[in-house]
Amino acid sequence: MADLQPTVLVVEDEPAQLEVLAYNLEGEGFRVVRTQNGSEALLLVEEEAPDLVLLDWMLPGTSGIEICRQIKTNPAHRLTPVIMLSARSEEVDKVRGLETGADDYVVKPYSLVELLARVRAQLRRSRAAALGERLSFDDIVLDSETHKVFRKGHELKLGPTEFRLLTTFLEKPGRVWSREQLLDRVWGRDIYVDTRTVDVHIGRLRKALMRDGGEDPIRTVRGAGYALG
Ligand code: CA
């Protein structure tokens, strides 16, 4: 999420254009993941959770529009900015008309300076939005606006206490929280709750998070408390 080096996924079937884009993005300090293939693009979105996707509209196989639609309807990735690259301005009009949810559109041939400026603008915007609405760690995503939690893109059912516990963990992944600190944060200072109650709710949270399999993301730190990751 807040990587110092944001990951940009570039999906472009023309090798020369792909190279130029990757070269220039890397020159700007981005980590670049690339593919010429539409269906591989969707796999890479899952595996790499890129901070931004640069997506060619005309691709063999799965079209850019279909890829964009799938990214934007996946709760785990819908906030990932997508910039569509189109060969002609009529295509851009069409993309707009189709309401794929793309965040920006650039017509080929584009100016690299302008394209890079748009990439940076989208990243700034999504960072700000993510801070407000979405917390994530690994394959877990919590949307604080809709109060929904997802793991690997599947929605999980959490009770209100488990939801607040997970929010606390997601705010500082890796930090070890003592039971007392969790009581203060999740239940509030003025309420008397036995520290064992924390263990009970941690158990429920773990169960919910591992409902569809996957590793236990919550670490028990002996004598200290709990941590995410
Ligand atoms: Ca193309």
Q: 3 alpha carbon to ligand 1 midpoint, in Å?
A: 29
pTM of the model: 0.58
Q: 63 alpha carbon to ligand 1 midpoint, in Å?
A: 9
Q: What is the pLDDT of residues 51-64, one digit of tens each?
A: 999 999 889 888 89
Q: The domain at 7-126 falls in which architecture?
A: 3-Layer(aba) Sandwich (3.40)
- What is the four-CA torsion angle of 20, 26, 30, 34, rounded to 10 degrees? 50
**Ligand 1 being an ion, which residues bring their Cβ within 5 A of it?**
13, 56, 58
Q: Any idea where the domains of the chain sit in the sequence?
A: 7-126, 132-228
Q: What is the pLDDT of residues 89-113, one digit of tens each?
A: 777 776 665 667 888 888 888 999 9
In this structure, the number of other CB atoms found within 10 A of the CB of residue 32 comes to 18
Report the alpha-carbon distance of residue 38 to residue 192 in Å, rounded.
55
Contact between residue 10 and residue 32 where contact means Cβ atoms under 8 Å apart: yes
CATH 3.40.50.1000 at 132-228, yes or no = no
- Residue 182 φ/ψ, nearest 5 degrees: -65, -40
